[in-house]
């Protein structure tokens, strides 16, 4: 069966080149021989393959090549170095990224405080970790365990994560965790949460055993109502679902 490989070359001037081929190391050799004087790599030899991925579908390979060509240098290097957990954060728009870089306050203490206020527990807790949280958004992750009960019977012999569970994961990380953080900036009391609306689009399946990352950006937070734009990514930095979520937050005095 014919395979198609998307690859990244590191050039002698420290730049990166993305291409597609049927034989990665044969193509590397061709680049180094300078067979095409019009090629980007011709004056940047020698080059070296630093990452590649195989596909059975030419359309998927072409789509991946286009995606990587649009990536920043930081995202390419995160992929090359297998720092996949940083890709969702690097995928945020520049304004949000600058804000996260400047104001990130996530640490073990903050995460513990938020987790203690979450109104969920196993098996309905879909938050494993928070990487970053600020007044403008949150980045977190969850690992869908293969033995989770909802996989049984959801598409026989080929289980996938139900869309309602993906929405719940996005809501717990992207809406509830952020809302608790924002409320706690002003109050130290308990918090009640009401999920008011969701508009989600599902693009790719999430299979048992996959780890996903959720990136949420605040649209507004006023009168204790929070509205967020959320995206969920798989480990290949592909968006598996995205949408807009809203919820109401109410503080309750601990002595009530």
As given in the structure block, the two tokens for residue 103 are: 């104001």
As given in the structure block, the two tokens for residue 146 are: 């293969």
Phi, psi of 75, rounded to the nearest 5 degrees: -70, -40
**Residue tagged 């109410």 (tokens):** 250
Cα–Cα distance, 155 to 86 (Å, whole number): 32
DSSP state of 172: I
SS3 at position 137 = strand
Is residue 99 part of the annotated active site? The answer reads: no
In the sheet with 48-55, reading across from the earlier edge strand, the strands are: 16-21, 4-10, 48-55
DSSP state of 42: G
Cα–Cα distance, 136 to 215 (Å, whole number): 11
Name which of 241, 119, 122, 232 is nearest 179 in CA terms: 119
Alpha-helical regions (H) of the chain:
24-33, 58-69, 73-80, 87-90, 94-103, 108-117, 163-170, 178-184
Of 143, 154, 158, 187, which one is the catalytic site residue? 154
Name which of 180, 176, 190, 184 is nearest 245 in CA terms: 176
List, by residue number, the catalytic residues: 154
């Amino acid at each position: 069966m014919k395979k198609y490989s998307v690859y990244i070359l590191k050039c002698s001037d420290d730049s990166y080149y993305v291409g597609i081929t049927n034989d990665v190391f044969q193509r590397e050799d061709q680049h180094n021989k300078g067979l095409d004087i019009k090629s980007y790599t011709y004056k940047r030899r020698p080059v070296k393959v630093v990452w590649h991925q195989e596909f059975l579908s030419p359309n998927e390979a072409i789509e991946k090549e286009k995606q990587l060509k649009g990536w920043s240098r930081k995202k390419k290097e995160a992929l090359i170095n297998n720092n996949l957990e940083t890709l969702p954060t690097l995928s945020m728009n520049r304004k949000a990224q600058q804000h996260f870089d400047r104001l990130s306050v996530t640490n073990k203490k903050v995460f513990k405080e938020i987790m203690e206020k979450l109104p969920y527990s196993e098996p309905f807790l879909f938050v494993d970790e928070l990487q970053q949280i600020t007044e403008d958004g949150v980045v977190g992750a969850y690992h869908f365990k293969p033995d989770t009960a909802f996989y049984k019977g959801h598409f026989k012999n080929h289980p996938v994560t139900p869309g309602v569970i993906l929405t719940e994961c996005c809501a717990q990380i992207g809406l509830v965790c952020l809302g608790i953080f924002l409320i706690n900036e002003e109050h130290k009391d308990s918090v009640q949460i009401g999920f008011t609306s969701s508009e989600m689009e599902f693009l790719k399946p999430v299979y048992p055993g996959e780890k996903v990352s959720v990136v949420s950006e605040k649209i507004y937070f006023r009168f204790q109502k929070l509205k967020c734009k959320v995206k969920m990514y798989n480990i290949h930095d592909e968006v598996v679902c995205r949408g807009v979520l809203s919820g109401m937050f109410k503080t309750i005095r601990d002595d009530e």
